[in-house]
Amino acid sequence: MFSPKSPKSLSKYVFKASQGAGEQLCMVECKPDCTCSVHAAGSTRHCAPLCKENGAPIEQQGLDNLAYEYGSQSELYQPPKTASRATLKLQGLSPESQTQTIESRICSLDGVLAASLSLNSGLAKVDYDASVITTKEMALELQSMGLSAESAVHIRVEGMHCQSCVQSIEGRIGPLPGVGHIQVSLQDATALIVHQPIVVTQAQLRGCIEEMGFGASLISHDASGYDTGCWQRDTLTVDIWIVGMTCSSCVQSIEGRISGVTGVRSIAVSLKEEKGTITFDPSLTEPEQLRAAIEDMGFDASLEDSASAKSIQGQEKSRPVFFGLSHLSDLKTTNKAGVSNGAGSQMTPRSEIKVQKCFICVIGMTCASCVANIERNLLKQKGIVTVLVSLMAGKAEVKYDSEIMNAAAVTQLIEDLGFGAKLIEDNAVTHGKLDLTITGMTCASCVHNIESKLTSTKGILGASVALATKKAQIQFDPEVLGARDIIKIIQSLGFEASLVKAGYKNNLDHTEEIRQWKSSFLLSMVFGLPVMGLMIYMMVMDSQHQEHGGSMPEEQNLLPGLSLLNLAFFLLCTPVQIFGGRYFYIQAYRSLKHRTANMDVLIVLATSIAYLYSCVVLVVAMAERAGQSPVTFFDTPPMLFVFIALGRWLENVAKSKTSEALAKLMSLQATDATVVTLGRDHSIISEEQVPVELVQRGDIVKVAPGGKFPVDGRVIEGSSMADESLITGEPMPVSKKVGSLVIAGSINAHGALLVEATHVGADTTLSQIVKLVEEAQTSKAPIQQFADRLSGYFVPFIVIVSLLTLVAWLAIGFVDFDIVKENFPGYNQNISKAEVIVRFAFQASITVLSIACPCSLGLATPTAVMVGTGVGAQNGILIKGGEPLEMAHKINVVMFDKTGTITNGVPRVTRVLVLWEMARMPLRKILALVGTAEASSEHPLGMAVTKHCKKELGCDLLGYCKDFQAVPGCGISCRVSNVEHLLQQQSEECFLLPGATTDESSLLPAAEETSAGEPLSYSVLIGNREWMRRNGHHIGADVDAAMSSHETKGQTAILVAIEGVLCAMLAIADTVKAESALAVHTLKSMGIDVVMITGDNRRTAKAIAAQVGIRKVFAEVLPSHKVAKVQELQEKGLRVAMVGDGVNDSPALARADVGIAIGTGTDVAIEAADIVLIRMKNKEPLPTPL
């Protein structure tokens, strides 16, 4: 129903009667200020008597038969151009509520054009002029009537790229006061928000989204129009057992914290029953997240074993159902936490579920939250048994009930979540392969026993055992059993079995090749240098004898046809040809065996033909007893072998240096793992130390404090902090608790953990990084691929040219002998013309083969590279090889990592704010107490605070700390004493904080004399807001604003409380290097585009980039995404340089056209890079090599 407010001069309205009234229209006589109205179908009609009196057909009354649908704008008045529609959900309505009164109050507001209210749904539809009135003003008017109102707004969001962006927006907007629900759609690029207009307005919501770096614009002031069921929703309730509560303050802390979690509708905590009952929206959160949030507060929390969630429909406060989402009540599934979604019909239990497995390539995952999002949502679907997603590999392994689900449907489910998905064919997924060394076998019967036992075991697909080599090759299904199980089966037969560790290191070891080519070069050089000396001597002496006539003594024959010079050449060349060139012959044989021709074939052809030709002509001359020894080519093999062997030696040395990057990556892997067996109550029954290669999927691994995680997995017990800098590049440790994912190779800081292995062997994240680096180093640029293809045709081309040269000179000689005679040295009348022609033709042909050999690779290129790298080293730049020298000046784009490259890589204190009005404590005393307290902390932030305090106090020894307690993710508490010696200073002394700012209120005189009543032991609390609230401290608006101002810049703000009083706030951040801004400016002035790419969060990345003048920023990216971004730019024809310092940068450093590593970075990054900046004191080191 509508109560039109304008124009007021109208005195007649045409209404459509309800279905029960026989679909007839009536004319209602009204006064100009009449507020009578017509309800929607099925509601009471206030003017019904008049309709009954005029019940004749419409046409007989002379009226037009007009029909207006409910909710449409009546033609009685023309709405203004700025008219908007708002739908308000009213709460507090009762059956006795006067609909007409409420409508009248709303219509009395300036700017309201029409209003309609339905008691059944509690929805009020209002048409209004948005330029005159807002929904907040309407809600205030309703509040004065004792009613509360919610509104829904539909906002278009631009700039979202993945599910991480979606979760960032939901995580930022959801907790805002007054926001009831938020649903962000990546596919539609929209956000639907249900909010209380009095608390937060539409403009404020749009502004919050824009502050996050996204574009935001209102699509409609009335989002409910997109889904008529916008305020109908099923919710779930879960009971969580909570241990550790001691008083009502604990109850209030839990209720206050959990009620702010997105999706939580209500929470009631019972101290007596040690239980919390939480009503929540299953589309926004799940019981495991709620349980983890309670544990983060320092309490022990566990979910009920029974069905811990039940659907609650038709509650007094119904909640929104967002458009585009299916009702959960349509399905009855159970997720990981045992939560049953909806109340669907019970399925008849089947005796056997037909489980099948599929592998899906997932595109668009950027972080662990994407993995959790896919796993969580797939497990909610009916028919999905298990889901395992690998972030680095970009692959999902899904087991499903084939009678309910199929692989195509699973792929579609992933695509519906906003990711790209492609089904991997079954033949693309290989089975597990295992190579074992078996000892104790004596005969063929042993082999038969082992093979028959293995092949009869379920899960083993094939087994082949060799008695002679004591080796076994086994194919198995890793879903059924693993390597450790197979070894135990063999051991049960009385044999010993061990894993054959081929691994990367054997493939990366170039020691043997380096030794071979080094010995070949030295041997060739020993005999080649005398040959080179004789050649120089002959050229000098030959010119002198030509001037004075006669022949040299060396050319005189010792025997007829054999001169002293040819004898010396033969003796020096033969060892080189046989021993120095044997590796060339081996390589050439292998190449010809595979019907290919490489440079080794060309070298062997040239040297062999030259040597054999020289031997043949020398023997013929001796047989003919020639008066003059013939011209030979004995000098060719030693000279070629010297230069080319040198090139091969240098090449293998360079390969070994390149391979060290992969070897160092593999060294990050743990060598052993502690596999434990758990009892029913998660107690450890047994422990077994096994090689990391034998860890199987599903094993429970114990990780001690300070140890490395041997495999990728999920924490099932314990809490700790982990250093994951090898993936993210960020030095800040990451909190790990039950349900958290851990990465192989990362370090467990403190606290023992039990981890269930999810990815082992080549599937771990570290193995994927190794694979990325290996692929990047072995991949070739298009121009290099063209050169390789060209070289495949080069050898046959040279051979053909050599043969054509032979044929051409033979033809020329027989046609015109004088031409050959002029060019044939030492022509003798005693030699027949045919012999002269043949000799000369062979000489020309061999010359073509010889000069085509790439001897410049062995001499010219290494010399140029040595000179170039020497000049670079003098300037603090280590250049690895000639390719970076050639490529550096062609660079178009430079991509910077953030941490350790643009920034210093370690957190530093940037501000100390002393709350003097509250604490009445001087700065020196605060620094002494804070520094002493944080000295016991292993957290990087604590170390930064301690370092800063020691520097400002001018001492290395601080006070005494006891009762130290650290709560991950919150802060620390302790008692500090013995700091009196730190408080003694001159009264005139003031503190100057280099690199940090201290508010003027902190620049106070010396510490006051300790009064007799002042305690010598102080209670100290240091941590975030939650830690302070948990300990009963109120945070004022001014302090909160000061903290927020730093947090918006990507910095960390912590609070300090001493003796129960808030005393100070410290801001800590990874500061920008002094030379970074200048380096970026210099690169831009050279016309080079500068980009920053980092694994850190978007807010911090944008803040750092703004400080150094970088406008293009890619944040929250993985190592694989850095490689993808480099490839994307290269595909556009750009030359890319990557600058980094961490393990996570090594794949991109290897893939870029020029990889530039910071000398203070990790060994892996330095090995993977092409250029290393050793000396960083120069204010603009980076532009120098470019």
Residues 295, 289: Cα–Cα separation, whole Å: 10
Say yes or no to pLDDT of 224 above 70.
Answer: no
Minimum mean pLDDT among 96-100, 112-116, 1090-1094: which range? 96-100
Q: Identify the CATH number of the domain in which residue 700 sits.
A: 2.70.150.10
Per annotation, catalytic residue among 897, 1096, 1141, 1145 = 897
- 471 & 587 share domain: no
Residues 385, 890: Cα–Cα separation, whole Å: 53
Residue 818 is a catalytic residue: no
Structural domain count of the chain: 10
Q: pLDDT of 908-950, one tens digit each?
A: 898 898 887 776 788 888 888 999 898 888 788 888 898 889 8
- 525 & 613 share domain: yes
Residues 868, 1092: Cα–Cα separation, whole Å: 29
Q: Which of 208, 231, 254 is the last residue of a domain?
A: 231
Nearest residue to 876 (alpha-carbon basis) of 579, 524, 1157, 586:
1157
Category of 731 on φ-ψ map: left (φ > 0), alpha (ψ -120 to 50) or beta = alpha
**Who has greater pLDDT, 335 or 944?**
944
Over residues 139-144, the mean pLDDT reads 83
Q: Which of 166, 198, 231 is the last residue of a domain?
A: 231
Q: Is there a domain that residue 1181 lies in? A: no
Q: Is there a domain that residue 27 lies in? A: yes
Q: pLDDT of 593-637, one tens digit each?
A: 767 777 778 888 888 888 888 888 888 888 877 777 777 778 888
AA identity, residue 1033: H
The Cα-based distances of 938 to 152, 225, 550 in angstroms read: 47, 54, 89
Q: pLDDT category, 21, cuts 50, 70, 90?
A: very low
Give the strand pairing for 734-736 and 720-723: antiparallel
**Who has greater pLDDT, 948 or 469?**
948
Q: pLDDT of 549-595, one tens digit each?
A: 445 555 567 787 788 888 888 888 888 888 888 888 888 887 777 67
- 972 & 1040 share domain: yes
Output the pLDDT for position 1055. 92
- 917 & 966 share domain: yes
Residues 802, 598: Cα–Cα separation, whole Å: 16
Peptide bond preceding 7: is omega within 30 degrees of 0, i.e. cis? yes
Say yes or no to pLDDT of 804 above 90.
Answer: yes
Residues 406, 397: Cα–Cα separation, whole Å: 13
Which tokens sit at 594?
A: 């595979």
Q: Is there a domain that residue 789 lies in? A: no
Q: Is there a domain that residue 118 lies in? A: yes
What are all long-range contacts of 96-104, with beta carbons under 8 Å and residues at least 24 apart? 99/37, 99/39, 100/3, 100/35, 100/36, 100/37, 100/46, 102/142, 102/145, 102/147, 103/3, 103/35, 103/37, 104/3, 104/35
Angle 935-939-942 from CA coordinates, rounded to 5°? 45
In the sheet that holds 460-466, the strands lie side by side as 460-466, 471-476, 432-439, 496-499
Output the pLDDT for position 807. 92
Output the pLDDT for position 556. 64
Over residues 319-335, the mean pLDDT reads 33
- 528 & 660 share domain: yes
Residue 1154 CB coordination number (10 Å): 26
- 66 & 90 share domain: no
Q: Point out which residues pair with 182 in neighbouring strands.
A: 193
pTM of this structure: 0.44
872 phi and psi angles, rounded to 5 deg: -65, -40
Q: Point out which residues pair with 25 in neighbouring strands.
A: 16
Question: Would you call 1064 helix, strand, or coil by DSSP?
Answer: strand
AA identity, residue 812: I
Q: pLDDT of 853-882, one tens digit each?
A: 665 544 455 555 556 665 665 566 767 666
- Highest average pLDDT, of 350-364, 1014-1028, 1165-1179, comes from 1014-1028
- 102 & 139 share domain: yes
Q: Is there a domain that residue 74 lies in? A: yes
- 721 & 821 share domain: no
Residue with tokens 């000046």: 889
**For the chain, what is the mean pLDDT?**
73
Over residues 263-284, the mean pLDDT reads 79
Cα 49 to the chain's mean position, in Å? 72
AA identity, residue 685: I
**Who has greater pLDDT, 683 or 77?**
683
Nearest residue to 278 (alpha-carbon basis) of 257, 250, 297:
257
Output the pLDDT for position 304. 62
Q: pLDDT of 201-216, one tens digit each?
A: 888 888 888 877 788 8
- 246 & 222 share domain: no
Over residues 889-910, the mean pLDDT reads 85
- 175 & 297 share domain: no
Residues 6+ apart with CB under 8 A from 261: 175, 280, 285, 289, 290, 293
Category of 162 on φ-ψ map: left (φ > 0), alpha (ψ -120 to 50) or beta = beta
Residues 6+ apart with CB under 8 A from 1053: 1024, 1042, 1043, 1044, 1046, 1047, 1065, 1066, 1067, 1068
Output the pLDDT for position 881. 64
- Highest average pLDDT, of 364-373, 771-780, 871-880, comes from 364-373
Say yes or no to pLDDT of 1127 above 80.
Answer: yes
Q: Is there a domain that residue 327 lies in? A: no
DSSP code for 38: B
Which tokens sit at 673?
A: 């793992």
Question: Would you call 348 helix, strand, or coil by DSSP?
Answer: coil
Nearest residue to 959 (alpha-carbon basis) of 942, 991, 943, 983:
983
Q: Which of 314, 345, 364 is the last residue of a domain?
A: 314
Residues 524, 573: Cα–Cα separation, whole Å: 9
- 685 & 751 share domain: yes
First to last CA, the chain: 74
Contact 13, 2 (CB under 8 A): no
Residues 722, 198: Cα–Cα separation, whole Å: 43
Contact 14, 50 (CB under 8 A): no
Q: pLDDT category, 220, cuts 50, 70, 90?
A: low
Burial of 818 (0-12, 13-18, 19+ CB in 10 A): exposed
Output the pLDDT for position 53. 39
Cα 1027 to the chain's mean position, in Å? 30
Residues 907, 900: Cα–Cα separation, whole Å: 11
Minimum mean pLDDT among 115-119, 299-303, 718-722, 771-775: which range? 771-775
- Highest average pLDDT, of 30-34, 174-178, 430-434, comes from 174-178
Say yes or no to pLDDT of 309 above 70.
Answer: no
- 488 & 595 share domain: no
Q: Is there a domain that residue 775 lies in? A: no
Output the pLDDT for position 829. 65
> Which domain does 297 fall in, by range?
235-314
Query: What size, in residues, is the chain?
Result: 1186
Q: Is there a domain that residue 218 lies in? A: yes
